[in-house]
Structure 1
Amino acid sequence: MEEYKKFIEKSWKKFIETGDIDNGVRTEIAESWKRCKSYGVDPINKNVRPKYSVDADHKTYENEELISVARPIMENVYNIVRGSEFAIILTDKDGYIIEVIGDEDMLKKMDDLNFVKGELWTEKAVGTNAIGTALYINKAIQTIGADHYSITQHSWTCSASPIHDEEGNIIGCINMSGNYYNAHSHTLGIVTAAAHSIQKQLALTIANNLMNVTFNSTCEGMIALDEKLDIKKVNGKALEILNISFEDILNINIKETLRNVSFDKIITLDYKVYNNVECDFYIKNNRVRCIINAVPMKVNEKFVGVVITFRKTQDVHKLVSKVVGYKASYNFDDIITKNSKMKDMIEFAKKASKSDCNILIEGESGTGKELISQSIHNYSDRSSGPFVAINCASIPRELVESELFGYEKGAFTGASKEGHPGKFEIADEGTIFLDEIGELPLDMQTKLLRVLDNNKITRVGGTYEKQLNVRVIVATNRDLKEEIKKKNFRKDLYYRLSVMNIKTIPLNDRKEDIEILVKYFLKKLDIKNGQVGKKVSTYYINKLKEHNWSGNVRELRNVVERDYYLSDISLDLSNYIDEESFSGNDVEKAKINVVPMKSIEKEIIENALKKYNGNIVKTSQVLNIGRSTLYRKIKKYNIIVK
């Protein structure tokens, strides 16, 4: 080592005086000297001035994560060399010193050399040195005595190694500096090992931070248990769902809190896994129903803990509602009318929507009862919640209760083993629309009355009453007061449902709406079929107004749709009003030629096939019939498909 010191000092002097480099000088040092000379670094300047100083606090803040990881490792290294006149220095990727640890005497010498926080130690700033050169060549290097380009550093020995991130980018440099007579090759090995340790620890820290961010940002509650089933980690969402503090949750007994989960089976060799199971958390005398996943953690086939993830059942139901389409599509603006009574009805419905009262909608079939109920929902404060519509007449009598209120696992033969939520649960925080309420069996009317009284439901086969927040809207085309007299409907239920009573207006009482309704239907049909505005005659509108619309708006829409497909663009719809639309007298008054329906049907199919070049799929879609039905009719009428 002494021979090298003498050699390099002589070689440095020769280079400074002549620019020539001896063959024995290390390539990294020789190349660095050349760079420093080209930079114009003064090798003789003994009065070092901080040319490139920056605010040390700002640099510390910028590199906070690197410093927090590196400092413990720097302290470990320093403990090895403590008292041997060495200091450990950390720089950022640009070469600015951001952390220093060392003996007091050494720190004073470093201060005299401006080897302190906030100073730049690149080759361009101070000449060849372990930090600047290591950063330039991107590998570890040791500089001893006259290896340094500046004579002010010839009494030093430095060993430095760059620090990289996971992508191999330089993020800093660690350096160990001391008196040059203490130089030893082992110091370079120590520094290199320290740099690798920082890199690994930093990668681990980043991974851990990412895991923590994921853990705390997920929309699910998460609880991590150790092998003794003690809670070791919990995220903020879990605390929010269970309405409990972090301190309190650490002290709960998970077996008593999640009574439906068999933790004994999880921790045994069975390693039972729970996926999407509905369970109750019992927290401070409260019961929180959630959908959970419970998965055992294993290391080398040894049980080390359990991870539980969960969401509130009602939140899952909201998601299901969005996916399966439990939402209202219509608004009050979709109700087309210029009738004053209809407008009064809409204004009343708007006022009713702002309350949470039960609403009974009465009216004939086809008058838009569900359209009104959807509009009420979308106009209410519950518009962001689910809208669940169910036709009471379409449910088999024996399934009404389970359909409305759900059932627990094993409640009856054929029941799902996980149980099943009813429509009321799915509608929680939203609106449930019970159409044809007059068809509800009497025993179910009693149970519905109880739900309306206390806003709680009990699943079939269950014992737990679940609190709900559901707005109830019902509709009927029956005269419920007459049904009460016939003992078919409960009087108390009627008054409970009809807190707000809305009566729809039959089309026969608002015939001034027929024209705007027809034009609306035609516009929708044009859009659907890619047509350009079919015309409708005044005569056609007048004949429609003369008709007795027992099926109301629904019947009108069906007539217009049928006549639309019977007409050409060049013909008005008045030519196609037939006996299916009106009574015989109306047909006679309209002086319309009555032709057999079979002939019309054959003509419609032939025209459609011609228009779509024999495309069966497109033709069946336009005619709104199945392909098999279309093939059958083609065969029936001996139609030739071209």
Structure 2
Amino acid sequence: MENYIRFIEGAWKDFTDKGYLNPSVRPEIAESWKRCRNYGVDHRSGKGNKIYKVPVEIKLEENAELMAVARPIMQDVYNTVAGSGFAMILADKDGYVLDTFGDKEIMKKVEELNFVKGMLWTEEAVGTNAIGTALYLDKPIQTIGAEHYGWHQHSWTCSAAPIHDEDGNIIGCINMSGNYYSAHSHTLGIVTSAAQYIQKQLALTLSYKLLNVTFDSVSEGMIVLDEFLNIKRVNGRACTILRMSLEEALKINIKETLIDVDLKKILNTPAKTYNNIECDFYINESSIKCIINAVPMNANNKNSGVVITFREAEYVHKLVNKVVGYKANYTFKDFITENHKMKSIIELAKKASTSDCSIIIEGESGTGKEVIAQSIHNYSSRSLGAFVAVNCASIPRELVESELFGYEKGAFTGANKEGHPGKFELAHGGTIFLDEIGELPLDIQTKLLRVLDNHTITRVGGTSQKQLDVRVIGATNRILKEEIKNKSFREDLFYRLNVINIKTIPLRDRKEDIETLVHNFVDKLNMKNNSVDKIVDKSYIENLKGYHWPGNVRELRNVVERDYYLSSNLIKTPHSIDENMLIKSQCNEEKISITPLQELENESIRNAISCCQGNVVMAAKMLNISRATIYRKIKKYALLNNDIY
């Protein structure tokens, strides 16, 4: 080593004094000396230049992650060589010193050389040195004695290795410096190993941070359990759903919180995942209904835990609503009318939209009851929520309760093993439209009244109540007050629902709208069949106005569509209107007197009883009907309450 020290001192002197470069100088050093001369570096110096110094706080902030990982590793390396006269130095990718520590004596020399935090230590700033040259060459290097271009560093030996990120970019440099007589090739090996270890730790830290970011940014709640079903990790979304802090969540006894889920079974069947389990988290004496997925973890053929992900059932229901189409498509703009009464109804419906009160819509079939209900929903503050329409007349009696209010698992034979939400749950936050509400069985009417009163539902087979935020709109083609008299509809439910009553108008009472509606239907059909441009003859409209329209707007739309496809470019003749209805309309126009059959029947029975001087049996024989029939007719027409003979 002494021979090499003398050789390199002579070679350095020849180069700096005479410009002669000894060919025996190793290439990395020789090329560095040339660069330093081109940079104009003063070979008589080699100390850190204060003109290059930057505030160390800025650099520490820029390299906080590198510092956090490298410092403990450097400390471990130093502990193995402490007392041997070495200092540890960390620099950033640009060559600025970030950290220095070491033996007391060597640290004095560090201060003398301005080898301090915030100082630039590149070749251009201080000449050939291990940090600057390693960064330039992007490889580990050791510099000994006069290999340093600056004279003040000739008593040093330095070993440095660049530090890279996962993409191979230089992010820093680690260096060990000491007296040149302590130089050993093993020092470079130690530094190189330390740099590689820092790189691996940085990669692990990055992966861990990415995992944490992913863990906390997923839209589902996530709980990680160990092999003893203790909670090890909980993400932020889980805390939000469970309405508790992270500290509280980590203390949960999961077996007492998820009592409906067999976690031990899940843990012990690592080959199986459990998806879409509907269950309750029991937290602080209340329950939070969620849909969970559970995945067992297995490492080295050992059950190592379970990962549970979950969403609020309400969120899943909203997602289901979007998929299955629980939404309102119509708005008040879709109403086509010139009728002033219909316009008044629309204004009433708009006013009703601004509140959350229950509504009853009464009217004949085909008069647009659901269109009004959808428009109210879309005009209200609930427009972003679900619009769930239920035809009460189409549900089998034995399934009405479970269809409306849902059921728990095992509630009855054939029930879904995970339970099932009812239409009211699916409508949470939105509107439920109960069409043909007059068809509901009386026992269901009682339960519906309770739902309207306390805004909660209990599933079939369940015990816990679920709070609901649902607006109820009912519709019927019956006259509910008559149904109340007949004891087929509860009076208290009627008044609970009938906060606002909207009565639709049949098409026969707004015939001025027929022409506008027909043109609208034809325009839409032309758009649907873009190669066709059919028009409507005036006589066609007049024919339609002469019809009674028992099916109202729905029937009109169907008639126009059929005539559209059966006609040429000019729609002139109604092909599919019931001839009997046209005859009836014509009779009305010609003012032909027609007596309803009920009136004739009433009068015939009255005359027969009078003729028989009140003998009902004899009157029945005269009319050729049974005794039971005549008594039923007498009751129907209340004939015995009148003086008929």
Q: TM-score range by the shorter chain?
A: 0.7 to 0.9
Question: Cα distance 1:400–1:75, how it changes in 2: closer, same or farther (>3 A)?
Answer: same
- Secondary structure at the aligned position of 2:536 is classed as coil
- How many residues were matched structurally? 586
Aligned to 1:335: 335
- The code of the aligned residue for 1:545 comes to K
Q: Measure the CA separation in 1 of the matches of 2:537 and 2:34.
A: 96
Q: Measure the CA separation in 2 of the matches of 1:191 and 1:344.
A: 87
- The code of the aligned residue for 1:573 comes to I
Deviation string for 1:242-292 (max 9, x for gaps)? 112223233332211111122332444678753221111111111111111
**How far off is 1:579 after superposition?**
5.2
- Secondary structure at the aligned position of 1:9 is classed as helix
**How far off is 1:458 after superposition?**
2.0
**How far off is 1:50 after superposition?**
2.8
**How far off is 1:342 after superposition?**
2.0
Aligned to 1:322: 322
- The code of the aligned residue for 1:242 comes to L
Question: Does residue 74 of structure 2 align to residue 74 of structure 1?
Answer: yes
Alignment of 1:196-211 (within 5 A): 196-211=196-211
Q: Measure the CA separation in 1 of the matches of 2:533 and 2:16.
A: 93
| Counterpart selection for 1:573 from 571, 575, 578 | 571
**How far off is 1:532 after superposition?**
6.1
Alignment of 1:462-501 (within 5 A): 462-501=462-501
Aligned to 1:63: 63
Aligned to 1:524: 524
Question: Cα distance 1:195–1:47, how it changes in 2: closer, same or farther (>3 A)?
Answer: closer
Question: Cα distance 1:126–1:497, how it changes in 2: closer, same or farther (>3 A)?
Answer: same
Deviation string for 1:569-602 (max 9, x for gaps)? xx4322x32352765459999xxxxxxxxxxxxx
Contact kept in structure 2, 1:51 and 1:125, CA below 8 Å: no
Aligned to 1:248: 248
Alignment of 1:377-526 (within 5 A): 377-526=377-526
- Secondary structure at the aligned position of 1:41 is classed as coil
Q: Measure the CA separation in 2 of the matches of 1:107 and 1:359.
A: 86
Aligned to 1:298: 298
Aligned to 1:608: none
TM-score by length of 1: 0.86
Q: Measure the CA separation in 1 of the matches of 2:31 and 2:155.
A: 21
Contact kept in structure 2, 1:564 and 1:573, CA below 8 Å: yes
Q: Measure the CA separation in 2 of the matches of 1:521 and 1:37.
A: 90
Aligned to 1:366: 366
**How far off is 1:332 after superposition?**
1.5
- How large is the RMSD of aligned CA atoms in angstroms? 2.3
Q: Measure the CA separation in 1 of the matches of 2:29 and 2:46.
A: 21
Q: Measure the CA separation in 1 of the matches of 2:155 and 2:497.
A: 96
Deviation string for 1:200-253 (max 9, x for gaps)? 111111111111111111111112222332222211211111112223233332
**How far off is 1:387 after superposition?**
1.2
Q: Measure the CA separation in 2 of the matches of 1:534 and 1:55.
A: 81
- Secondary structure at the aligned position of 1:472 is classed as strand
Aligned to 1:89: 89
**How far off is 1:416 after superposition?**
1.6
In structure 1, stretches of 5+ residues that fail to align are 590-642
Alignment of 1:19-168 (within 5 A): 19-45=19-45, 49-168=49-168
Contact kept in structure 1, 2:48 and 2:115, CA below 8 Å: no
- The code of the aligned residue for 1:263 comes to L
Determine which structure has more spread, i.e. the larger CA radius of gyration.
2
- Secondary structure at the aligned position of 1:462 is classed as coil
Q: Measure the CA separation in 2 of the matches of 1:266 and 1:545.
A: 69
Q: Measure the CA separation in 1 of the matches of 2:531 and 2:267.
A: 67
- The code of the aligned residue for 2:391 comes to N
- Secondary structure at the aligned position of 1:418 is classed as coil
Aligned to 1:551: 551
In structure 2, stretches of 5+ residues that fail to align are 588-645
Contact kept in structure 2, 1:428 and 1:470, CA below 8 Å: yes
Contact kept in structure 2, 1:273 and 1:294, CA below 8 Å: yes
Question: Cα distance 1:58–1:515, how it changes in 2: closer, same or farther (>3 A)?
Answer: farther
Q: Measure the CA separation in 2 of the matches of 1:267 and 1:560.
A: 63
Is 522-531 or 61-70 further displaced after alignment?
A: 522-531
Deviation string for 1:599-635 (max 9, x for gaps)? xxxxxxxxxxxxxxxxxxxxxxxxxxxxxxxxxxxxx
Q: Measure the CA separation in 2 of the matches of 1:171 and 1:245.
A: 37
Contact kept in structure 1, 2:548 and 2:582, CA below 8 Å: no
Contact kept in structure 2, 1:559 and 1:581, CA below 8 Å: no
- Secondary structure at the aligned position of 1:401 is classed as helix
Contact kept in structure 2, 1:278 and 1:289, CA below 8 Å: yes
Aligned to 1:351: 351
Contact kept in structure 2, 1:368 and 1:504, CA below 8 Å: yes
TM-score by length of 2: 0.86
Is 225-234 or 199-208 further displaced after alignment?
A: 225-234
Question: Cα distance 1:344–1:107, how it changes in 2: closer, same or farther (>3 A)?
Answer: farther
Q: Measure the CA separation in 2 of the matches of 1:55 and 1:512.
A: 85
Aligned to 2:632: none
> Which 4+ stretches in 1 moved above 6 angstroms?
269-272, 586-589
- The code of the aligned residue for 1:137 comes to L
